[in-house]
Structure 1
Amino acid sequence: MKTDSQLQQDVHTELQWEPSVNASQIGVEVKDGIVTLAGHVDSYPEKWDAERAAMRVAGVSGLAVEIDVKLPGTSQRTDADIARSAEQVLGWSSFLPKDSIKVMVEKGWVTLTGQVHWDFERRGATSSIRQLMGVTGVSDQITLKQKVSSLVVKADIEAALKRRAQNDAQMISVKVDGGDVTLSGTTHSWAERDLASHAAWSAPGVRNVVDNITVTY
């Protein structure tokens, strides 16, 4: 098992390796395997990429983010401009049902609400908004419409876990209550934990996923 000092060095190195992140603007602290990122970045996508980079490092058991997005003058836009751009992007998206998502913007922070049928539609919407100039954060409040029975959802999730994470599929349990899914058990890495969560979200009808999986090294 890595020491906190080793984890700190590995996370810092991973941030330096990620080309979309200016690692010199981000500080890294580690205590008991919990990583804290602090500092300032020039865009929300850079903050997002820094979070993903830290979570890729083996041995990280938790992540606290204290990074501020400070947009340079050329990237600052009014909330009205951001809202118009967001509505246009969502309107042009071929994978989204027309007028299924509403946009609210406050001080650069975008909140998305509405209903879609599939999680890939929800993830696609948030991903497209995350890249817009002037955005300082995105709150995903999009819900999924339930379409199938709990038994079908449970079977789909367990089958996906066996296909994609053969080693850990037997160590993960799935509980379904309506459209709410709770995952528990253990995996050997953050990547496998994310894979299990993604498999759950990919099942049709899933509205919410509670990820109680722990990572053991």
Structure 2
Amino acid sequence: MAAAAAHQIAWCTTITTGTVEIVIRNGWVILEGEVEWWYQKNAAEVAVRHLSGVCGVSNSIAIKSTAKIPAVGMDIEAAFARNALLDAKQIRIEIAGNKVMLHGTVPTLTQREEAERVAWAAQGVCSVDNHLAIKWSKTGD
């Protein structure tokens, strides 16, 4: 199982070679190391999750980035503005270190999830706390 997991990680084109270490314990795959983007951390987990014999995955990969924090906030705001699914005026972004907190209201669960996905996609983001409330209203109210 360890060899299969190592091959899956090596074959994953989104993960930089040598950034992820794999430990196998009683069927659990433990991923460790450092990557620059959340999608790389996620890709490592997806790559090994469905291997034969895997009981579960513990993803302890850290996100380490050289991105400047003010730039992260501006990148997320610009991505919100470009996103047709989101009303960027209803979402407030708060940044503390590499942590992003989303506040405000959105009309649907889909928009809440999309806002979180967009925030995770910014370089340097290590965690996202989604505090967006869903405020549904009937058309015409």
TM-score class, shorter: 0.7 to 0.9
Letter in 1 for 2:87: D
User: Sequence identity, in percent?
Assistant: 32
Residue 106 (structure 1) shift:
2.8
Letter in 2 for 1:212: H
Partners in 1 of 2:61 and 2:85 — Cα distance?
Answer: 31
Unaligned runs of 5+ in 2: 137-141
Partners in 2 of 1:148 and 1:122 — Cα distance?
Answer: 17
| Secondary structure, counterpart of 1:132 in structure 2 | coil
* Residue from 43, 49, 63 that aligns with 1:144: 63
Residue 27 of structure 2: aligned partner: 108
Q: Which runs of 4+ in 1 moved over 3 A?
A: none
Q: Cα RMSD over matched residues?
A: 1.7
More helix by share: 1
Residue 175 (structure 1) shift:
0.9
Unaligned runs of 5+ in 1: 1-80
Max radius of gyration: which structure?
Answer: 1
Partners in 2 of 1:158 and 1:91 — Cα distance?
Answer: 34
Residue 97 of structure 1: aligned partner: 16
TM-score with structure 1 setting the length = 0.57
Residue 134 of structure 1: aligned partner: 53
| Secondary structure, counterpart of 1:129 in structure 2 | helix
* Residue from 100, 105, 111 that aligns with 1:192: 111
In the alignment, is residue 163 of structure 1 matched against residue 99 of structure 2? Answer: no
C-alpha offsets along residues 7-39 of structure 1, whole Å, 9 cap, x if unaligned?
Answer: xxxxxxxxxxxxxxxxxxxxxxxxxxxxxxxxx
TM-score with structure 2 setting the length = 0.85
Count residues with an aligned counterpart.
Answer: 136
Using CA pairs under 8 Å that are at least 6 residues apart, name the structure with larger relative contact order, 1 or 2: 2
Partners in 2 of 1:111 and 1:195 — Cα distance?
Answer: 28
